[in-house]
Amino acid sequence: MRRLLLLSSSVCHGTEGFMGWCSDIVSEYLGKEVTRVLFIPYALFDYDEYTSAPRNKLKQLGYEVDGIHELENPVQAVERAQAIYIGGGNTFRLLKSLYDHGLVDVIRKRVLEEGVPYIGSSAGTNVATVSICTTNDMPIVYPPTFDALGLVPFNINPHYIDPEPNSTHKGETREKRINEYHMYADRPPVLGLREGSCLYVHGNKAVLKGSSGAKLFKPKAEPVEFASSADLSFLLE
C-alpha cells in the first residue's frame, strides 16, 4: 500500500526554519515504525550541506537520516531504506541523477509494491508524479526522459502562485503555463500546490493538508479550488 507525503516546499513564509510548517505532519506520517530516513539530495550541488538541514530537523523529531551519497551503493541504499525522502532544488538535475544512478525503477518498486514511505518536497514532489513537464525549474541538464517515478497518475506544480489581479507584470502566469500544458488533451491533471500545503496519499486515499489549499487543472475545464482536508482520492483513479 503506497504511502506518500508530497510537500509543496520544505520552508514556508511565516513559519520558522526547515520543515517548520509541517513538522507535525511529518511526525504523524512517519510514525514510530520508522527510525531511519534515506535522504536523496541530488537536486542540489552540495550534497553534504543540503543533507544537514533534514538531518538536524528529523533528528529533533526522533529520526536518524542517511544521505544516499554517504553510502557505498545507492541502489542498495534504496533497497534497504525504511523511508525515502527526496528534497527540492532543480528538478531536471534531480531526475537525471535518479536515472544516472539506476534508482527510478527501484524507488518505484519499493514505494508501490513494498509500501515504503516516500516524502517529496518541491522537486522531490515533482519527480513523484507522471512527468516533470510542469516543474517551474530551468533545464540546466538533460535527463534521458521527462517521465518521472509515476507514484501518482497526475502531475503537481509545487510553489503554485495565483495570478495577481493588480500586477503590472506582463509575462505568463503560472495558471497560463499550466493551461498551455493542457493544450494537449491527453495530458494528466495538474495539482497547483501552494506553499504551506501538501498531499497525503495512503493507498487509494489522498487528502490535502496544510493551510493554503490547492488548485486543480484539467484539460478543457475551469480550475477548481480545494481547501485543506479536501478528499482528492479521485485523482488516484
Q: What domains lie within the chain, and their CATH numbers?
A: 3-236 (3.40.50.880)
- Band (pLDDT 50/70/90 cuts) for residue 229 is very high
Mean pLDDT score, 22-50: 97
Q: Which pLDDT score is estimated for 165?
A: 84
The torsion angle over the Cα atoms of residues 38, 7, 206 and 211, rounded to 10 degrees, is 140
Instruction: Decide if 202 is catalytic.
Output: no
Q: Catalytic residue, from 10, 121, 137, 197: name it.
A: 137
3 contacts 115 by C-beta, under 8 angstroms: yes
pLDDT at 166 over 90: no
Q: What are phi and psi of 121, to 5 degrees?
A: -135, 125
Q: What is the DSSP letter of 137?
A: S
b/e code 75-85 from CB counts within 10 Å (16+ = b):
eebbeebbbbb
Q: How far apart are CA 84 and CA 186, in angstroms?
A: 31
Instruction: Decide if 212 is catalytic.
Output: no
Q: Catalytic residue, from 159, 202, 212, 233: name it.
A: 159
Q: Catalytic residue, from 122, 131, 182, 197: name it.
A: 122
> Hey, what's the cell of 154?
497526475
Q: How far apart are CA 113 and CA 94, in angstroms?
A: 23
Instruction: Decide if 233 is catalytic.
Output: no
